[in-house]
Structure 1
Amino acid sequence: FLGSVQVVIWNEQYQKLTTSDENGLIIVWMLYKGSWYEEMINDRNRSVARSMSWNADGRKICIVYEDGAVIVGSVDGSWYEEMINNRNKSVVRSMSWNADGQKICIVYEDGAVIVGSVDGNRIWGKDLKGIQLCHVAWSADSKILLFGMANGEIHIYDNQGNFILERTRPQCIEAEG
């Protein structure tokens, strides 16, 4: 490594380690006969990866860079750079693959939302104005998206970006017995 490691993720299905350093160098490592080897290297030389996530079957990885680029790559080494969001005005706070690993939702702190496909194409985007996003999660059936806000609220949308429930604050109730 030329720089210090910033992001590390594990691909359980393929037993691969993926790292990104402070210079933007991404390496997919594989264990072979007790030693780690560089299997794939991706060096954009433009920006640093801020977040990475493998989908459920371990075949696709989504990488979000600080310059707004969103790249979907595959475990075999092919890369797609279709979901570019060159906004340079906000940072990615969370991303989540749906249960079957065919769609990914990426949320930005300033309320921007991008949903993309496993092949790297943007499906839809939305700007939730005046909202500070910090987390996203799919429902188990991939029909609903939950957006967590910095103030603790949860907003609920369908998988096409249509509003379902504006605001709700989860309540924790102490169970007796």
Structure 2
Amino acid sequence: MAVVTFQISIPNNVKLKCISWNKDQGFIACGGEDGLLKVLKLETQTDDAKLRGLAAPSNLSMNQTLEGHSGSVQVVTWNEQYQKLTTSDQNGLIIVWMLCRGSWYEEMINNRNKSVVRSMSWNADGQKICIVYEDGAVIVGSVDDPVLVDTGMHVVSIQWNHTGSVLAVAGSQKASTQDKDANTVQFFTPFGEVNV
């Protein structure tokens, strides 16, 4: 049996598509249809309250709606090192948000205008982001030097290792001996080189 200790209603009953929790600062980003993007922050109980067995979150200290997307927000991911939020919608629009004086603001906007973003992930030190597009393009980006990674796959997801030195790319590709797709995971360096 699940016990709900805290609940937040979404305006106009808009369907949610994604959620991501910033574990360091406690922010929660949720994206949904019609460009819905909210950043919430739950103040959790103190260690003293935990010892006494009191309920989990008790106070909503932030409930901000971020405006910038017009399409359904599909992907939300945190850069915890630099306290930034990166979001993408069904039109392929990517927005990097920054926290300034207690509110979230657009810092950068990017639109490749070719394909929808399937997945995004920042590396451990927050210096590089990997963006996977529905058309199979994989871009490892930094402010100075973005790298296009040719995986030869239909990519569905990516994830950095804990140090940010290896990027795992999951997807499927045509098997050379069969007529069906083979599911594979490939590994790359942050510079787009195959990591064996």
TM-score by length of structure 2 reads 0.68
Corresponding residue for residue 70 of structure 2: 46
Q: 1:101/1:85 Cα in 2 relative to 1: closer, same or farther (>3 Å)? A: same
Corresponding residue for residue 83 of structure 1: 110
Query: Does the residue aligned with 1:81 lie in a helix, a strand or coil?
Result: strand
How far the C-alpha of 1:87 sits from its partner, in A, is 0.8
After superposition, where does 1:23-172 map in structure 2 within 5 Å? Answer: 23-31=34-42, 34-36=58-60, 38-44=62-68, 46-57=70-81, 59-76=83-100, 77-88=104-115, 91-117=116-142, 121=143, 123-126=145-148, 128=150, 130-150=152-172, 151-165=182-196
How far the C-alpha of 1:24 sits from its partner, in A, is 0.8
Q: 1:35/1:13 Cα in 2 relative to 1: closer, same or farther (>3 Å)? A: same
Query: Any unmatched runs of 5+ in structure 2?
Result: 1-10, 44-56, 173-181
Aligned length: 160
Where in structure 1 do 4 or more consecutive aligned residues deviate above 6 Å?
Answer: none
CA contact (8 A) 1:58 1:75 kept: no
Corresponding residue for residue 4 of structure 2: none
State which structure, 1 or 2, has the greater radius of gyration over its C-alpha atoms.
2
Query: Any unmatched runs of 5+ in structure 1?
Result: 166-177
Query: Does the residue aligned with 1:43 lie in a helix, a strand or coil?
Result: coil
